[in-house]
């Protein structure tokens, strides 16, 4: 009778194989994490120099302020003041470009009225001034815009809606007194006319916080009130589109935008 071969005893230390595999995987995991978190110093320096060249075209020399990471790694930190000035200049150029674009859109929209001498558009460092004769907007002694003027004023509001600039609307009259049940003086008439233009802009999407309406009455004339032509020039509404950098204080200045 043949003897059966002895059975292999149980391997009680088989867990060590699984443990070794786990340790190997854990080691590989930390190697991968370290490689991801390590900064490629060469690429970092290349990116830094590219940003410096973009902002100041190499005009600013880097200042060495300290060490970061290992003892052999140095970080170059730029002089903040010249760089900030360069950024401010770039932003100013961008704002000026948007202002010129807005002025071109306003002139294109109002060109028919400008051709008839009813609207004048001027641009300066103070912004864009749109001076509108009252005859292009209102009936005599009235503050509600006519049907025709409501149309192009609405389209103007649609253009202004796409820009962040603050807007000041000022109403002016001539020096002849008015006394009606609705408008006891030129103050009420000029303020109502400015307010009606502001209301139209709000209805066409211009934010109300960007707008202010001012009644000037017969003050600050731009022509002599001794002639009919001069009085017609003085009866006007001026829309002042301020630069983007202008704050709320600029909405009601002591001077005027011309």
Q: Is the pLDDT of residue 64 over 80?
A: no
The number of beta carbons lying within 10 Å of the beta carbon of residue 258 is 13
Q: Which of 252, 239, 89 is nearest to 163 (CA)?
A: 239
Look at residue 8 in the predicted model and tell me its pLDDT: 56
User: 100-251 has which CATH code?
Assistant: 3.30.1330.60
Q: Which two tokens stand for residue 90?
A: 């770039």
Q: Name the pTM for this structure.
A: 0.66
Share of the chain above pLDDT 90, in %: 53
| Domain(s) of CATH 3.30.1330.60: residues in the chain | 100-251
Tell me which of 60-74, 148-162, 185-199 is least confident.
60-74
């Amino acid at each position: 009778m043949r003897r059966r071969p002895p059975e292999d005893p149980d391997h009680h230390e088989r867990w060590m194989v699984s443990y070794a595999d786990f340790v190997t995987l854990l080691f590989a995991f930390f190697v991968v994490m370290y490689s991801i978190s390590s900064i490629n110093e060469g690429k970092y320096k290349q990116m830094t120099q590219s940003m410096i060249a973009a902002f100041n075209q190499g005009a600013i020399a880097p200042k060495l302020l300290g060490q970061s990471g290992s003892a052999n790694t140095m970080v170059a930190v730029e002089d903040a003041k010249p760089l900030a000035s360069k950024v401010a200049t770039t932003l100013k150029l961008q704002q000026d470009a948007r202002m010129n674009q807005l002025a071109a859109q306003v002139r294109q929209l109002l060109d028919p009225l400008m051709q008839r001498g009813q609207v004048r558009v001027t641009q300066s460092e103070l912004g864009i001034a749109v001076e509108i004769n009252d005859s292009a907007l209102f009936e005599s002694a009235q503050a509600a815009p006519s049907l025709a003027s409501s149309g192009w004023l609405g389209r103007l509001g649609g253009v202004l809606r796409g820009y962040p600039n603050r807007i000041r609307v000022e109403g002016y009259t001539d020096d002849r007194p008015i006394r009606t049940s609705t408008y006891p003086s030129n103050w009420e008439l000029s303020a109502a006319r400015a307010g009606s233009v502001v209301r139209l802009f709000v209805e066409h999407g211009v934010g109300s916080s960007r707008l202010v309406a001012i009644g000037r009455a017969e003050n600050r004339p731009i022509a002599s009130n001794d002639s009919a032509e001069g009085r017609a020039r003085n009866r006007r509404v001026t829309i002042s589109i301020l630069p983007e950098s202008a704050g709320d204080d600029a909405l009601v200045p002591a001077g005027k935008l011309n």
